[in-house]
Structure 1
Amino acid sequence: MPAPDVAALLTELERSDPDLADDARVAVEWLTGGDPLETLTQLSVCEFLWYTLPLEVTGDRGAIARSLGRLLDLGGMDRYAALCVSPTTAQILRAYAREGDDAGTAAYQRALNATGVLPPDVAELRWSSLMGPEELGAHLACSAALELAIVCGRLDPSSGTGKADAEALTRRWLTEPRAELGGDNWLNRVHGERLNRWVLGRGAARRELAQPFEVRLHAPIPAPDGPHLQALRWLLEAARRPGGVLLAPGDGLARPLAAEAAERFGWEPAGAGAEDGLTALGTLLRIAEHEMRAVRRDGGSLVITSAGRRLLTDPAALWQAATAALLTPVSGQRDMEVSVREVGLMLLSEGTALPCGELAERVAEVVVGEGWRTATPDEVARPLVELRRRLEAFHMCVTARQPSAHVTSPQDPAECAGRPPAALTPAGRAAALTALRAQALRPRQYVSLSRGTPA
């Protein structure tokens, strides 16, 4: 049932403009869901007019928008009433009617971005498309704060500092303790909600495995003390030299550099361990070039990029980039293969040495329980070998035999039985937890932006 204030306004509208009352009733029921008009925000009004109305409400949409505007005007909500009869609303409704849903939705997104009330992504949080209750509450609270700042003149979205000011306000609203949250902040609430969803996952075996991580991943994982990622730093430093480093014909670095890597990092010398397929230096090169975009090819040389220079001067950013690479999908990998690596990191994070074959069997049991019907030990071996190569390239695991520095062509083996057991180092365990936390807290990408339901 409509809230009393809405009912009173509808009664008044029936007396003053009876032809508008029915359309206004339809609009306000969709818009408020029975809540008082005081709960409306600019974001909710814009989403109704520019998304819900043209896609979900039948009838003369222009007339419905105008009727809603009249009702809001009677309620003293002049700014929201003006949106209902604005040229922007008319243009968006025409785009839906004449050019189709895709064109209308694109026009809606452009107009919504231009309002300045859409909370921007910040370093601490990238917004999901489909939000749980906590994230939706945070999103609406931040939007209301942005709207108030614009109305009060403290924020001008069109100014040169508008983007930075909106990010600063959003960050402050997310991270400051809130009395209405019992002293907690919205960022903790959103992270807790995402982490809980990740832990629950799919399948009983995965839930049982992931349950302890809800506590372990609650707070950010500190980077390890002491030297770490030395091989990656060495590669970036080499690429920073004048002229970069010479590339060998084909797809690798010249043998002198491979020999230097073998000597520095205890890798087997070039030419040995070719059965490993893509070896440590080749894996490191591929990650730095194609995933981190930290180096690039310039003729016959490998040179550092501006992104690589930033990573060298920012240890925290370098750590985040390297740990993210543990779960970055390789070209052509399916979601199942990323899930395999995720489960593999959970099993390895305890620090116990596990032979690759045994690890593959345990991972397969968990992944099959998630609903991947074709996840046999042989099929999970490929992504597990890729994970192990990355850990070895970053010196995050120890094995009975060190990896080769020789660069060969990438070729995932069909299975990994017989490879020596591997255990994560302390830095490797920290990296595994950091990668898992980033995976758990990543935004969920769906269709609708801020209503918490799919379109």
Structure 2
Amino acid sequence: MREAVASALAELARRDERAADMARSALDTLAPEQEIERLNQHAVQRFCWFELPVRFHDSAEDQLFAVRALGNLFALLQLHRYAQICSAPETATLLTVYSGDHAAGLAMYERLMWESGVEPPDLPELTWGTAVGDAEIVARDETASALELAITLGDVRPGKRGWRPAQERFARSFLTQPDNRGLSHLDRIREERVRAWLSSSAHPHRQRLWPLVGQIIAGADVPRGAEAAMAPLQRLLDLAAEGIALTQIGYISPGVVRQMCEDFGWRTTPEPPRSETDATQLIALHQALRGMRAVRRSGRRLVLTRRGRQLREDPEALWQAATETLCRTGGLDQAAAETLLGMLLARTPQGSGSHARRGESDVEAAERALTESGWVPVEPPAPSGRHAASHRRTAEAASDQVRALVMAVSWLLETLGLLTDDDGAGRRELTAPGRAFAIACLHQSAVAPRAVV
């Protein structure tokens, strides 16, 4: 193909030497080494509609000249679809818009890319990231090429009724198709993301999770016992459907708290509970539903959101929402959840966790693992003088905060029946549904798209 490119450039130079120089420069950016057989429509559109106006600070007139020169080169190479992109009125309009309003230009670029049909869509199984590895780059490029072919063959028809579901079905089928090693693009993206997640220098606590890498990559299906585990959350959603009375400061009304505790046989201190703050189970459930954005406050009542109404009708979706939410909170909250779940998953049937010390409870072991990872000093300095007491209080408060966050995760697992009974020393094991839940939580956290920081 290089000979064909050289011949086309020579012909273009005979017509307009400046246009040939512009086309050669544009092609070098688009296809290094002039490997035009690797070009696709997505790359051409991205160059004309984003890279050229954003990266090259020429005037709109010069940019339009470069695009038209590139289009003439494509026409000489019989790449008429790509030539049409370069000569399209939308391309000229977009370059003009960029010159006057960069944000408006970006918005128009995103709209045109989406309307073209070759932009790989986000799927329930995969949200494309902005900070990506090699596997994701290859997958996105090849998906765009596959969509281009599907559009050419008429399998996907942008702008026609039902084209977006058709595009999603095609993209899903392509991304999940295994290669000769039995791995799909989706498999490779997930593995790449999990390994990057575990290796994150900003989250050293994850180093302890490496023994679980295979399980985290694979994830876990919704287990048979999911509906029973979700029953407490389901009940609270049912109550919120009619509106749950709240106290003046936003706690669930004592009557609802007592009824829930009685229905599920939960022990509280004191008993019966006087408020939500007396029932760790209600604290955990309320916080979980808030995290899922399933409920919201409306005056003095807790009511369902649109998402809450959807989750109420689908226990499996509720399970998935719970696993997505627990380890997506960010900061120390997320680190506490990841650490405790990983510790419980690594625990042997005999009950000795890989990170636990003799006589150490689950909460204490997770707290120590977090502090040793650098979230708070393991042994805070003990200054002397009049500031010593203040420093000690600060260190104690930091330790209390870590412990409280770990305990909050433990409360939720206990409330959903995902833990066995306490062995008397504050140590527990995950039930079968509990293991599926913990693996799914870590998997959802690890395969989430990374953003450019």
Q: How high is the TM-score relative to the length of structure 2?
A: 0.81
2:390 maps to which residue?
none
Distance 1:35 1:440, change over 3 A: farther
| Structure 1: tracts of 5 or more residues without a match | 403-419, 448-455
After the TM superposition, which residues 123-202 of structure 1 pair with which residues of structure 2 at under 5 Å, given as runs?
A: 123-178=124-179, 182-202=181-201
Distance 1:393 1:363, change over 3 A: same
For the pair 1:25 / 2:24, whether they are aligned, the reply is: yes
1:387 maps to which residue?
409
More displaced stretch, 56-65 vs 37-46 = 56-65
Distance 2:83 2:135 in 1: 29
For the pair 1:445 / 2:444, whether they are aligned, the reply is: no
The alpha-carbon deviation at position 183 of structure 1 amounts to 4.2
Deviations 1:95-124 (A, max 9, x none): 22222x333222211211111110111122
Distance 1:177 1:133, change over 3 A: same
For the pair 1:322 / 2:322, whether they are aligned, the reply is: yes
For the pair 1:434 / 2:448, whether they are aligned, the reply is: no
2:95 maps to which residue?
93
Contact 1:397-1:422 at 8 Å conserved across structures: no
1:411 maps to which residue?
none
More displaced stretch, 74-83 vs 273-282 = 273-282
Superposed CA RMSD: 3.3
Deviations 1:260-284 (A, max 9, x none): 2222232315565989778321331
* Structure having greater relative contact order (Cα 8 Å, sep ≥ 6): 1
Deviations 1:326-355 (A, max 9, x none): 2242xxxx6344234323322233344734
2:64 maps to which residue?
62
1:354 maps to which residue?
361
Q: Which has the higher helix share?
A: 2
Distance 1:81 1:196 in 2: 41
2:42 maps to which residue?
43
1:214 maps to which residue?
213
Distance 1:245 1:14, change over 3 A: closer
Distance 1:77 1:358 in 2: 63
Distance 2:254 2:294 in 1: 21
Distance 2:244 2:371 in 1: 41
Distance 1:202 1:3, change over 3 A: farther
Q: Which amino acid is 1:359 matched to?
A: A
Distance 1:23 1:247 in 2: 67
After the TM superposition, which residues 420-431 of structure 1 pair with which residues of structure 2 at under 5 Å, given as runs?
A: 421-426=426-431, 427-431=433-437
Contact 2:326-2:441 at 8 Å conserved across structures: yes
Query: Which SS does the other structure have where 2:111 is aligned?
Result: helix
Deviations 1:344-397 (A, max 9, x none): 32223334473434421211222459xxx9996455334324323433443434
1:343 maps to which residue?
339
Distance 1:422 1:265 in 2: 21
Q: Which amino acid is 1:292 matched to?
A: M
Count, aligned residues: 416
Query: Which SS does the other structure have where 2:373 is aligned?
Result: helix
Contact 2:257-2:276 at 8 Å conserved across structures: no
2:252 maps to which residue?
253
Q: How high is the TM-score relative to the length of structure 1?
A: 0.81
Distance 1:401 1:299, change over 3 A: farther
Percent identity of equivalent pairs: 31
Distance 2:403 2:266 in 1: 26
Distance 1:170 1:259 in 2: 49
Distance 1:231 1:48, change over 3 A: same
Deviations 1:173-212 (A, max 9, x none): 111234xx54432111211211221222227964641211
Distance 1:16 1:206, change over 3 A: same
Contact 2:293-2:307 at 8 Å conserved across structures: yes
Q: Which amino acid is 1:146 matched to?
A: L
Distance 1:421 1:363, change over 3 A: same
The alpha-carbon deviation at position 58 of structure 1 amounts to 4.7
After the TM superposition, which residues 178-327 of structure 1 pair with which residues of structure 2 at under 5 Å, given as runs?
A: 178=179, 182-202=181-201, 206=205, 208-226=207-225, 227-240=228-241, 243-263=242-262, 264-268=264-268, 279-288=280-289, 290-296=290-296, 301-304=301-304, 307-327=307-327
Query: Which SS does the other structure have where 2:449 is aligned?
Result: coil
Q: Which amino acid is 1:158 matched to?
A: G
More displaced stretch, 301-310 vs 136-145 = 301-310
Contact 2:128-2:449 at 8 Å conserved across structures: yes
The alpha-carbon deviation at position 46 of structure 1 amounts to 0.7
